[in-house]
Chain A
Amino acid sequence: MYEISHLLKEYFAELDPLRRREILDSLPADDDTEFLRALYASRYSDHENKGRKNVDWWLWRCICLQILYGRGRFLRTFRNREVAGIIGELFMNDSHHTFLYHEYRNTARRYLSTCNSANYASRMMGFRQASDEEKVIRACQDIWQMSAGIAKSAGVEAEMHLWVESFRDELYEYSPVCREEYERLNK
C-alpha cells in the first residue's frame, strides 16, 4: 500500500525544504508532479504573509491541532470549526492518497526530528532536562494528540483517517516504545 518510486522515496525522506525543492524540480513534468508542486506550495508558504522564509505551514497546523486538542469543552464549537478548516487546508479530502500519505509522514517526521532538542519536554522552567525515554513518551503523546486525539475529540475520524494513519505509522518507526504508548493513549 502507498508504494512509490525510488526518486519519490528520496523526496519524501528529505526534511530540508530547499533540498526537497531541488528534487521536486528534477521530477518529470506530469500530473503527479503538478500535484506534488501544489502540496509543496501549500506546505512551505507563509500563509499569513509575514515575510518569513521556509515556513513549514503544515508543521504549524500540526501544532495548532495539538493546541486545539487541549482546549476546554466550552470552546468546542469554535475548535471544531477550526479543525474543519485545517482538514481542508491539509488536503485531507483529496483523492491522491499515496502522495498525501507520504507527505503527512514527512510532516510527522519533521515534528519528531525536533523532539531530540535539549529543552524539549524539560521540567521546572527548563532547569531539569528530560531523559531520552521521557522525550520519546512525550513525542508519542504529542503525535497522538495532533492526530488520533483531535480526530476523536472533534468527531472527524473519517475525514482525518489518512492523517491519523500516516502519523501513527511514522511514530511506530520512531521508537519501539511508541506502539505500546500509542495504543495506551488510543484506549
Chain B
Amino acid sequence: MYSGIVAMALMAVFAVVFLYALHRLTAVAASPVEVLPAQSGWMPQEHALSRFHVRWYMASIVFLAFDVEMLFMYPWAVIVIERGLSAVVEMFLFLGALLVAVVWAWREGAFRWA
C-alpha cells in the first residue's frame, strides 16, 4: 500500500539529486560563494537569526485548539452516514462551542495585528 508513496519519495529525491548534480556540471562554479545578506549593500549590524516578534501568537493558540479538533473530524467524517443525525448533532454542537470561542477571540482582537 505504501510502496507507491515510497516510490514517489524516491523519485523526488532522485529529481533533486539529479538537478544538484547537473548544476555541478553546468554552473560557473560548483561550490557556493559566501556573501553578506541582502541589505541594499549596507553591512549587516547583526545576524538575522534572532527571537522574532510574532504578533499573531494569540491566533496561533486559537489555531492549536482547533487543529487538535481535526483529530476528531476526520474519523467522524467516515461514520456520519452510519450513525445518522446523532453524529451530526454531537459534532456540530462541539464545533459551535469552538466557534463561539473564535468569536470571543475575535472580539478580543486576537486576529487583528498592529
Q: Do A and B come from one complex?
A: no
